[in-house]
Structure 1
Amino acid sequence: MSAVAVSDPKFISIEGIARRYPAAGGGFTTIFEDLWLQVPRGEFVCIIGHSGCGKTSVLNILAGLENPSDGVVVVDGQAIAGPSLDRAVIFQGHALLPWKSVLGNVAYAVSSRWRKAGRAEVEERAKRFIDLVGLNGNEAKKPAELSGGMRQRVGIARALSIEPKIMLMDEPFSALDALTRGTLQDEVRRICKSTGQTVVMITHDVDEAIYLADRIVLMTNGPEAMVAEVVENPLPADRRRDTIHHEPDFYTVRNHLVDFLVSRSRTFRDDKPAGYDPRHPPVVRPGAPVASPPANTIPFPAVAKARD
């Protein structure tokens, strides 16, 4: 964790939020309630849970696209009260303007952020981010002329071009083939690490979360979902896709996440561990040594190391 992140541990503070919807026949269906989570500045966080647990609702509340039924979300000291250019969203679909070129789509976002900037300044900034995602030379192409992966690159360039405080990603690679998805994951990781971008991402892909995230938030099944625990990624920050499966703790953390999704996500709510406090979800570091664990951390045996 960087010095910036340590000095600002509550950059994003989700404080007791709930989301309820009217139910057929009266009353309400509670998707989740009393959700608490803190994200330091510069951290990459993935949220994992089964469909129906409210992951996308959490992301929409962070984006200001939905209001929580209860609670509040504070970002950089200010409560969220609607959409803002400080928070960029990358959806599952590219959501590009089909009549605009690659340059036009990114420039449109830039001009929305810097309304008084001249055309040359807007285009220069837009081209810089187009180059950052590896699309140099494609500025004049329309979305229909691009592959699915290239369209998502444009979406990423557009999001980064407004220099948001937070980038919110809702399964942005789920519709792509495996090879393209891996390439874009590499690009996103490279960009976020080099820029110190704060990211909250929704995913169903355990391996994607392990590769990208600094921490992984595990949500129980809905309705009435809750944050079961926050998993600190024990793998080194300079991990690489082609060697990550050789890391000593890779299968330890992977097995822990899969075990949660397969079984504990269903039973956690009715069989919570002693002392569980939703305001301070337990922090787990699979593979960490048992001696002298960090405060509020539950150590797990290094299963992968034991196999060796």
Structure 2
Amino acid sequence: MTEKPLISIEGIARRYPAPGRQTTTIFENLWLPIRRGEFVCMIGHSGCGKTTVLNILAGLDAPSDGEVIVDGKAISGPSLDRAVIFQSHALLPWRTVLGNVAFAVKSRWPKRAKEAIEEQARRFIELVGLGGSERKRPAELSGGMKQRVGIARALSIEPKILLMDEPFSALDALTRGTLQDEVRRICLDTGQTTFMITHDVDEAIYLADRIVLMTNGPGARIAEIVENPLPRERSRIDLHRHPHYYALRNHLIDFLVTRSRTLRDQPADGHDPRHPPVVRPSAAPELVVTTPGDAATLPLAAAHKH
């Protein structure tokens, strides 16, 4: 990575005191750079600390060790440079669609005129396909429409970083797919830097440039970083036809089903937390695994050992 990352996660850990017992370490020594304009997904089983990592990035939690640097400055708390889309839409029920989005815009630019605030809010409401629904209140909206408002609200403040905490998990499959399409289109069009946590392998394959794989917790760590071999301009309809698709999907599922557990229980000898293996699954019976200082093409079984 030659360019300076927008986000630099540097050796963070999160520990919680347990009365009468040893301190519980959820994860430790996590290092991860994220480039400007990159879409990164983190995958791992419940308990590995994915949401805690996201909360630390948002400034809603503090690491026990280490720090997170954003655009050259250490995170010390919440900031409007970082917008969060939660699993729940978290809308203000007494405000309209326009009112909810305008509230965020006014928080970001409190000295702007009312007309300019509403113009900014309407632009992002249109962007997520809710033009004509500005005067509706949350009770009048479907679940998918509420999440669209949440997305519009987050994007309307033009954040440096968009943080997404499984925002589509509670939606039906059709609505989830539609919103994934919208988010992907918006991020590509605007160059939005995005960090997302998910349990959904297919969602990560479709959206992410890189996929960070976490071992099981407690004591979780980054096992490897998977570079998505699919073209950045990709279509949901043709995704499964790409020659690298099944190699990528099988690699991720194999990790979640088997390796995420076994890696946690294995000694971390030879594992450099600052430079976890970078893997690029392909249709050939080999994986490209990059380790610090070299790049080698290894058989699948050998790559899993790094």
Say whether 1:20 aligns with 2:15.
yes
Q: What corresponds to 1:236 in structure 2?
A: 231
Q: Indicate conservation of the 8 Å contact 1:283/1:298, yes or no.
A: no
Q: Which amino acid in structure 1 is aligned with residue 119 of structure 2?
A: E
The Cα of 1:98 is off from its aligned counterpart by 0.3
Report the RMSD for the aligned CA atoms in angstroms: 2.0
Q: Indicate conservation of the 8 Å contact 1:17/1:35, yes or no.
A: yes
1:122 maps to which of 117, 121, 134: 117
Quote the Cα distance in structure 2 between the aligned partners of 1:218 and 1:243: 25
The Cα of 1:266 is off from its aligned counterpart by 0.5
The Cα of 1:267 is off from its aligned counterpart by 1.0
Q: What corresponds to 1:99 in structure 2?
A: 94
The Cα of 1:132 is off from its aligned counterpart by 0.3
| Fraction of identical pairs, as percent | 71
Q: What corresponds to 1:187 in structure 2?
A: 182
Say whether 1:178 aligns with 2:173.
yes
Q: Which moved more, 1:20-29 or 1:276-285?
A: 20-29
Q: Which amino acid in structure 2 is aligned with residue 283 of structure 1?
A: V
How many corresponding residue pairs? 298
Aligned pairs for 1:72-83 within 5 A: 72-83=67-78
Q: What corresponds to 1:29 in structure 2?
A: 24
Distance 1:42 1:83, change over 3 A: same
2:34 maps to which of 36, 39, 47: 39
The Cα of 1:8 is off from its aligned counterpart by 3.4
Q: What corresponds to 2:274 in structure 1?
A: 279
Distance 1:20 1:292, change over 3 A: closer
Quote the Cα distance in structure 2 between the aligned partners of 1:250 and 1:273: 30
Quote the Cα distance in structure 2 between the aligned partners of 1:74 and 1:223: 25
Quote the Cα distance in structure 1 between the aligned partners of 2:11 and 2:26: 13
Q: What corresponds to 1:69 in structure 2?
A: 64
Q: Indicate conservation of the 8 Å contact 1:285/1:299, yes or no.
A: no
**Which consecutive unaligned segments of at least 5 residues does structure 1 have?**
1-5, 303-308
Aligned pairs for 1:214-293 within 5 A: 214-271=209-266, 275-287=270-282
Q: Which amino acid in structure 2 is aligned with residue 224 of structure 1?
A: G
Three-state SS of the structure 1 residue aligned to 2:175 is helix
Quote the Cα distance in structure 1 between the aligned partners of 2:90 and 2:3: 32
Aligned pairs for 1:87-166 within 5 A: 87-166=82-161
The Cα of 1:274 is off from its aligned counterpart by 6.2
Three-state SS of the structure 2 residue aligned to 1:191 is helix
Quote the Cα distance in structure 1 between the aligned partners of 2:287 and 2:200: 31
The Cα of 1:276 is off from its aligned counterpart by 1.8
1:202 maps to which of 197, 204, 209: 197
TM-score where L is the length of structure 1: 0.92
Three-state SS of the structure 1 residue aligned to 2:177 is helix
Q: What corresponds to 2:46 in structure 1?
A: 51
The Cα of 1:174 is off from its aligned counterpart by 0.1
Q: Which amino acid in structure 2 is aligned with residue 90 of structure 1?
A: I
Three-state SS of the structure 1 residue aligned to 2:68 is strand
Quote the Cα distance in structure 1 between the aligned partners of 2:4 and 2:132: 40
1:43-85 superposed Cα distances (whole Å, 9 cap, x missing partner): 0000000000000000000000000001000011000000000
Distance 1:253 1:291, change over 3 A: closer
1:5-26 superposed Cα distances (whole Å, 9 cap, x missing partner): x763421100010001111324
TM-score where L is the length of structure 2: 0.93
Q: Which amino acid in structure 1 is aligned with residue 234 of structure 2?
A: R
1:115-144 superposed Cα distances (whole Å, 9 cap, x missing partner): 110000000000000000000000000000
